[in-house]
Amino acid sequence: MKLAAHHNLWLALCAVALAAVCVASILGPVRFGKERRLRERAVVVRLSAIRAAELNYLHDHGVYTADFGTLVGGGYLADSLQYVPFGGGRRFDLAATVQVSVSGRRLPLVECGATYDAYLDGLDANSVANLIEEANRSGRYAGIRMGDINAGDTRLSINK
């Protein structure tokens, strides 16, 4: 049975369309990963600046602060550094406390972080939701965080 020329044209167009869909399905996650790494680097830079400001505040006052207004007003941190990059004006989550150890030693702790949905805003919502679900399932913070009040992290390490 001989196919008409217009049937061959339709088959070729379908093949091209399927190839385009395949390429798009491969490049989408690649683009997401590239943009995610770019945004994470920007968040880590800001968290490093916040860590330096908190350490200077600790040196001067003996405790950390959970208020960006205190850091900015005291000249420890530039005003723009309290905002999550690519976060649409959202601020980093900041918490500070003093825990008393069994021996009675006072241990000042601070935690500052940005969630995935804050700094990955505008990217593929399904990929962001998958990251959040994976972090929650494994018991990790769903984003990037400096310090950990619950774990007693005094080194102020930055964890992804």
What is the rounded CA–CA span in Å between residue 160 and residue 141?
8
> For 7-42, how does the pLDDT look when each residue is reduced to its tens digit (9 = 90+)?
778 888 888 888 888 877 787 889 999 999 999 999
Cα separation of 128 and 124, whole Å? 6
Model confidence at 48, pLDDT cuts 50, 70, 90, reads very high
Entry pTM: 0.84
Given the structure tokens 């774990």, which residue do they identify? 151
> Please, what is the average pLDDT of the chain?
91
pLDDT at 23 (0 to 100):
78
Q: Is pLDDT at 53 greater than 60 in this prediction?
A: yes
Question: DSSP state, 160?
Answer: -
Three-state SS at 124: coil
What is the pLDDT, as a whole number, of residue 2? 58
Specify the residue for token string 């500070």: 96
Task: Find the mean pLDDT for residues 82-92.
Answer: 97
Q: What is the DSSP string of 34-93?
A: HHHHHHHHHHHHHHHHHHHHHHHHHHHHSS--S-HHHHHHTTSS-GGGGBPTTSTTPBPE
Residue type, 99: Q
pLDDT tens string 135-159? 999 999 999 999 999 888 877 788 7
Which carries the bigger pLDDT value, residue 46 or residue 20? 46
Side-chain-facing half-sphere of 86: CA atoms under 13 Å = 20
pLDDT of residue 128: 97
pLDDT tens per residue, range 90-106: 999 999 999 998 899 99
Q: Please give the pLDDT value at position 144.
A: 97
| Long-range residue pairs from 66-72, CB within 8 A, at least 24 positions apart, any chain | 66/94, 66/95, 66/96, 66/97, 66/110, 67/94, 68/92, 68/94
